[in-house]
């Protein structure tokens, strides 16, 4: 992907973080918009989300961006039905793919399968691109379609995912008019999706189901008959417990073991959940 491209304001501004006001000064004329634009004016590589919506108007002179190094952190896309959460994920995934970053999307309904095909230009797409100052080009992105345990369209896989978070400085909160995704905004036809799955290099390796013997099946096997214990001679003297057995069975040792176990459990919990030790 090439660096972010922002269209110049009709008045002639070329500053990527600003526009030209009627007086000819560079940058957003509104001080609030100027403050938001300054908060998103990163110098390094960044993902372009869109432009600020302020006072009922889209402001392409104030782009909303995410620094690429921050994308290894946790994020939240929240909103009511139909507000664009799925398209926001598609937009982020497109730009990460263009930067060479692999993306895993848990897409239950197949709404994001269109990322594999170029988008279809229409008046809505062209209008949105013009609003946010985007040079829109229909683009498809490489994709592999996987199906967890073989349910639905995709290569059957089993997956385990874990994520570790880090703390990052928050950027200004701003209503944002999102850019238009460049891939197809909608699910790919089922026949085309199946063809992509069959044509994948992963299909030959993972498509064949392997029914391995489970732990449950192994436990259900009939165990071998245990050997009968040899009868002890009557009136035979009991073996005296060893010194270690005497110590382990003592009440003092059991109390100490409980105390150590409790303290160990607390330390493990603190290390996992980051809870601080109480101050006395």
Res 255: pLDDT: 76
For residue 277, name the pLDDT band (cuts at 50, 70, 90): low
CA dist., res. 187 & res. 38, Å (int): 37
Between 193 and 253, the more confident residue is 193
Residue 10 pLDDT exceeds 60: no
Cβ(26)–Cβ(38) below 8 Å: no
Q: Is the pLDDT at 130 greater than 90, yes or no?
A: yes
Instruction: Answer whether residue 275 shows pLDDT above 70.
Output: no
20 CB burial (10 A radius; 0-12, 13-18, 19+): buried
**Residues β-bridged to residue 47:** 66
Strand partners, 67: 46
pLDDT for 35-91, tens place per residue? 988 988 888 889 899 999 898 899 998 999 989 888 888 888 888 888 888 889 999
Is the pLDDT at 92 greater than 80? The verdict is yes
Please state which of the ranges 69-83, 129-143, 226-240 shows the lowest mean pLDDT: 226-240
Distances (CA, A) of 240 to 243, 244, 245: 9, 12, 10
Number of other residues whose CB lies within 10 A of the CB of residue 71: 16
Q: Given a cut of 80, is residue 233 above it in pLDDT?
A: no
- The yes-or-no verdict on residue 127 having pLDDT over 90 is yes
């Amino acid at each position: 992907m090439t660096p972010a491209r922002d269209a110049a304001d009709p008045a002639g501004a070329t500053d990527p973080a600003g526009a030209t006001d009627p007086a000819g000064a560079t940058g957003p004329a509104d001080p609030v918009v100027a403050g938001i634009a300054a908060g998103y004016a990163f110098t390094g590589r960044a993902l372009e989300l869109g432009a600020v919506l302020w006072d009922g108007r889209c402001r392409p002179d104030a782009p909303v961006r995410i620094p690429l190094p921050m994308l290894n952190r946790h994020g939240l896309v929240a909103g009511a039905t139909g507000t664009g959460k799925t398209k926001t994920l598609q937009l982020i995934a497109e730009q990460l793919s263009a930067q060479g970053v692999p993306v895993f999307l848990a897409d239950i309904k197949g709404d994001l399968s269109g990322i594999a095909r170029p988008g279809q230009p229409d008046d809505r797409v062209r209008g949105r691109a013009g609003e946010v100052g985007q040079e829109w080009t229909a683009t498809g992105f490489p994709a592999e379609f996987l199906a967890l345990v073989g349910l639905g369209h995709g290569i059957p896989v089993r997956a385990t995912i874990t994520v570790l978070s880090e703390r990052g400085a928050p950027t200004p909160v701003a209503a944002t008019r999102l850019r238009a995704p460049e891939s197809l905004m909608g699910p790919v036809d089922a026949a085309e999706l199946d063809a992509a799955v069959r044509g994948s290099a992963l299909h030959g390796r993972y498509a064949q189901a392997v029914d391995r013997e489970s732990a449950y099946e192994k436990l259900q096997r009939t165990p071998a008959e245990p050997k009968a214990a040899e009868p002890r001679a009557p009136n035979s003297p009991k073996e005296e417990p060893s010194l270690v057995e005497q110590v382990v069975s003592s009440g003092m040792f059991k109390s100490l073991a409980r105390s150590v176990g409790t303290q160990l459990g607390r330390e493990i919990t603190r290390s996992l959940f980051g809870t601080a030790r109480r101050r006395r």
